[in-house]
A and B are shown apart, each in its own frame.
Chain A
Amino acid sequence: MKSTKGVSRRTFLKRSSATGIFLALGFPAAALEAVAEKMPPLQNMALEALKGIEINPFIIIDQSGKITIISHKPDMGQGTWQSIPTVVAEELDVDPATITIKSSVGEKKFGDQLAAGSSSIRGSWNTLRNSGAAAREMLMTAAARQWGVPVAECSTANARVLHTSTGKSLGYGELIEAASTLPVPAEPKLKAATAFKWVGKSVPKPDVPLKVNGSAVYGMDMKVPGMLYASVERCPTITGKLVSFDDSKARAVKGVKHVIKSERPFFSRTFEGVAVIADSYYGALEGRKRLMIEWNTSAEKEVDSAAFIASLHELAGQEGAVHDQAPEFKQVLEQAAKKHMASYETPFLAHSPLEPENALVHVRDGECEIWAPVQGPDGAVRAVSEYLGIPYDKVIIHVPFLGGGFGRKAFTDYILEAAYLSRELKAPIKVVWTREDDTLQGPFRSASVSRMEGALDKEGNVLALHHKIVAPSIQGQLWNGLKENTPDAWAMEGISKHDSPYQIPNYKTSFVLAETSIPIAWWRSVYASASMFGHESFIDELAQMNGKDPLELRIEMSQGDSRYRKVLEALKEKSGWAAKPEAGKGKGCAIARSFGSIVAHALFMGRNKEGKLRVEKVVSVIDCGTFVNPDTIRAQTEGNIVMGLTAAIKDPIIFKEGKVQQTNFHNYRMLRINEMPEVEVHIMQNNEHPGGVGEPGLPPVAPALANAVFSATGKRIRKLPINLDEV
């Protein structure tokens, strides 16, 4: 529990019990009780303070034996609220159902807290296990000393240390004081995977009971005394500048307190807006509607996504920056018996988390308190600290459950905007974005083009493959981190030789940089969300040239690597791939390794009553190494299929004269339940290091779909989205 000097102790608890987890907001103690009266009864129960001894950053045990485990990676639906504490609890040898879970509040001691890149488990695996195992060893040592017996004779069960031969036992709570004074073992003994009791099992997620009765708390639900709501009118062309505004009508709306120019810093750029601040969100919205604003949009008139995509196709003719190239590549390609080249196009997309961006920020004298849905608590604290010029340890963030993130909430512009308003108005300000703000403002998944080149010998063996990506650089645009004539390393995710499932003797990857003023960012599975469409569609095209079955060709080319081969063979068997589709129907497959895991989909298409092509079934096989919760892996893969299908067949983001043409879910449509195919997910069992789960299922969706459309219609589609009513 973090306590800032000079102010009342603030509490932010997430308390779990047999009936679930309760979450309270951070309030000054005096104000707490007044607000508590209005809070639902479940949350009242969380107001008791958290006491106990921190044996290491992840574990706090009090003398009654109550164990609190910190989850340092925000939960946006990917399951970290269950998976992170479970790994610690496994090594501590306590049932995760009996522990209390609490979020980190951005403290430096947890290191990187960003939930992104499907990294939460695979990146923290050793840290989490070591912290649980070290604490267990310290508790056993404390008990052994008290009993005067060798540690080796001690064991643990049900949060107690046991000495079997004498029948003695002590609870963790009774040992915590002595244990916490012992040196921390550098290399604690870890459990054998075969001894895992909770890791690897479909344990129910502790957040689910809260999410079925409305008691789960999201950023959108945060309230503090004296808080005002803000809605910000933003320039429709994104980077336009404010010339002037007339707020007389806005100020006449009941409840409107202030109207001021606002700023939203996003890396090197600052977006401008006019904020209407009121005592209710509805009041702020009504006031905003009555603003009269003059924008200078001249700089953005030329921004047009169709023209930009056309320029990507032109740039595809350039050599670009080579990422990796086999020595003989050029020669082999020139002398090959058969060659093929094709370009594939993917559009701009918005993240559209169902909970729009929002942030409640209170800047006080020399300190700042934040309540906001964000994927990286530490990054948000750092950004606000730097922006306001307040020391890191004077900024605290309370991160509730996130109503979706998908990369959008890895960025902190919407928090800085609230911080700006709070500083200017000297009050706690909650900025809530509308769906239109979210859709129009981005940042976006960039459009890109993949140009594929392949060479075959007379027998049809693939001798050479070249994947060239033409796209803007995220690290270049945001972090100014791309050196000249260098490929964006993130753009190689999935397509690099390292990630490729195939033993192709002459391999090449390259990157042509395209510049754009459109703000771009990570979007679930980042570049791989787009590049694998070209990559795996092209493999199908090579199979067609060979007259080979596309899945059989993939198996043949992946013989050298057993994990890929096993996934593909499992897919063949589980999906019943061998069966020939009926006339007019089709099947397609694709595989990708990204974010440390391998996923292959087999997608089956049929016809609806009107005879239009529809996705009927997707069978998926994932190899993510050692895993924590197989049910979460199935859920994430189901979700990746839905998001991948939305990206492949629904609306793109289109810019005309600098303005996004889509505004809300009626013209930026998402897959709905009536379009949902049957989904089957199979998980490979092995003892490899954990891979990612939140993203790897997405990249192979679009190519599996395009390959199935080809199978059903004979039409090769190289541009997303695909209009299934027209193919």
Chain B
Amino acid sequence: MAEYKLSINGENLTVEVEPATPLLWVIRDTLGMPGTKFGCGMAQCGACTVHLDGTAIRSCTFPVSAAVGKKITTIEGISEDNSHPVQRAWIELQVPQCGYCQSGQIMSAVALLSKNQKPSDEDIDLAMQGNLCRCGTYPRVRKAIHLAAKMMTHEIN
């Protein structure tokens, strides 16, 4: 066991866990933020996606010890009131079905749009293909990213 100081969603938190513990379980079980999901445990499905200094990573295979000194953002840090354009677009187009993968989808989409204000379909394919959706919400994910991009660049409100 070791003590780690983590910055999550702008808060500084201290946890005492085994160094190899994947960040996912620290976020979910130690810190009690269950929005980030467990789907595969080997970075294949993207349900556990969070941001590390703004970049999307798979927290299920990312050891907590490597997250020290970085800014971690989880779905809870995107906005609790659903005001983020990606969340608004997701609601507008009613993207989620079961919803289990959607935290990860949204985290990947937010990371994409922070680096690319007007992604093409190919950009979306590249950024989002790590996020599985067994319900099959892909057509809506694609449309919602385009819609969020327009909201963010104020083409529409």
What is the CA–CA distance of A209 and B97 in the complex, to the nearest angstrom?
Answer: 12
What is the CA–CA distance of A215 and B103 in the complex, to the nearest angstrom?
Answer: 10
Q: Is A42 an interface residue (CB 8 A)?
A: yes
CB neighbours of A673 from chain B (8 A):
124-125, 128-129, 131, 133, 138, 141-142
Interface residues in B98-125 by Cβ distance below 8 A to A read: 98-103, 106, 124-125
What is the CA–CA distance of A38 and B28 in the complex, to the nearest angstrom?
Answer: 12
- One of A44-52, A185-193, A324-332, A662-670 contacting the partner: A662-670
Q: Is A245 an interface residue (CB 8 A)?
A: no
What is the CA–CA distance of A251 and B30 in the complex, to the nearest angstrom?
Answer: 21
Number of interface residues of A (CB under 8 A): 68
What is the CA–CA distance of A78 and B97 in the complex, to the nearest angstrom?
Answer: 7
What is the CA–CA distance of A267 and B125 in the complex, to the nearest angstrom?
Answer: 43
Q: Is A402 an interface residue (CB 8 A)?
A: yes
| B91, closest chain A residue (CB) | A208
CB neighbours of A402 from chain B (8 A):
98
Query: Could you say which of B28, B102, B139 contacts A676, with CB atoms under 8 Å apart?
Result: B139
- One of A85-93, A151-159, A413-421, A640-648 contacting the partner: A640-648
- Whole-angstrom distance between the Cβ of A689 and the nearest chain B Cβ: 25
Interface residues in A273-305 by Cβ distance below 8 A to B read: 280-282, 286
| A283, closest chain B residue (CB) | B18
Query: Could you say which of A42, A220, A670 contacts B80, with CB atoms under 8 Å apart?
Result: A42
CB neighbours of A280 from chain B (8 A):
25, 29-30
What is the CA–CA distance of A218 and B99 in the complex, to the nearest angstrom?
Answer: 9
Does B96 contact A670, Cβ atoms closer than 8 Å? Answer: no
What is the CA–CA distance of A77 and B142 in the complex, to the nearest angstrom?
Answer: 19
Does B139 contact A401, Cβ atoms closer than 8 Å? Answer: no
Does A209 contact B91, Cβ atoms closer than 8 Å? Answer: yes
- Whole-angstrom distance between the Cβ of B64 and the nearest chain A Cβ: 10
What is the CA–CA distance of A145 and B64 in the complex, to the nearest angstrom?
Answer: 68
Query: Could you say which of B30, B87, B100, B133 contacts A212, with CB atoms under 8 Å apart?
Result: B87
Q: Is A214 an interface residue (CB 8 A)?
A: yes
- Whole-angstrom distance between the Cβ of B91 and the nearest chain A Cβ: 6
Known contacts being A204-B94, A356-B39, is A404 close to B76, with CB within 8 Å? no
What is the CA–CA distance of A208 and B135 in the complex, to the nearest angstrom?
Answer: 14
Does A678 contact B139, Cβ atoms closer than 8 Å? Answer: yes
Q: Is B150 an interface residue (CB 8 A)?
A: no
Q: Is B51 an interface residue (CB 8 A)?
A: no
Q: Is A336 an interface residue (CB 8 A)?
A: no
Q: Is B69 an interface residue (CB 8 A)?
A: no
CB neighbours of A40 from chain B (8 A):
33, 76, 80
What is the CA–CA distance of A280 and B27 in the complex, to the nearest angstrom?
Answer: 12
Q: Is A313 an interface residue (CB 8 A)?
A: no
- One of A59-67, A475-483, A631-639 contacting the partner: A631-639
Does B134 contact A670, Cβ atoms closer than 8 Å? Answer: yes
What is the CA–CA distance of A391 and B155 in the complex, to the nearest angstrom?
Answer: 61
Interface residues in A348-364 by Cβ distance below 8 A to B read: 352-356
Does B82 contact A214, Cβ atoms closer than 8 Å? Answer: no
Does A356 contact B38, Cβ atoms closer than 8 Å? Answer: yes
CB neighbours of B137 from chain A (8 A):
635, 638-639
Query: Could you say which of A352, A401, A635, A642 contacts B94, with CB atoms under 8 Å apart?
Result: A635
CB neighbours of A642 from chain B (8 A):
133, 135-136, 138
CB neighbours of B22 from chain A (8 A):
282
What is the CA–CA distance of A259 and B99 in the complex, to the nearest angstrom?
Answer: 34
CB neighbours of A79 from chain B (8 A):
97
Q: Is B75 an interface residue (CB 8 A)?
A: yes
Does B91 contact A676, Cβ atoms closer than 8 Å? Answer: no
26 A–B contacts, CB within 8 A, in A order: A204-B91, A211-B102, A214-B35, A214-B76, A215-B80, A221-B28, A223-B32, A254-B1, A254-B18, A280-B25, A353-B100, A354-B37, A354-B47, A354-B100, A354-B101, A354-B135, A355-B37, A404-B98, A435-B41, A435-B42, A638-B140, A642-B135, A665-B42, A673-B125, A673-B128, A674-B126
Further contacts, 12 of them, CB under 8 A, given A213-B87, A353-B98 = A42-B80, A211-B99, A214-B34, A280-B25, A281-B25, A282-B18, A282-B25, A403-B37, A403-B99, A435-B44, A631-B94, A664-B41
Residue numbers of B with Cβ under 8 A of A are 1, 17-18, 21-22, 25, 28-30, 32-42, 44-45, 47, 74-76, 78-82, 87, 90-91, 94-103, 106, 124-126, 128-129, 131-142
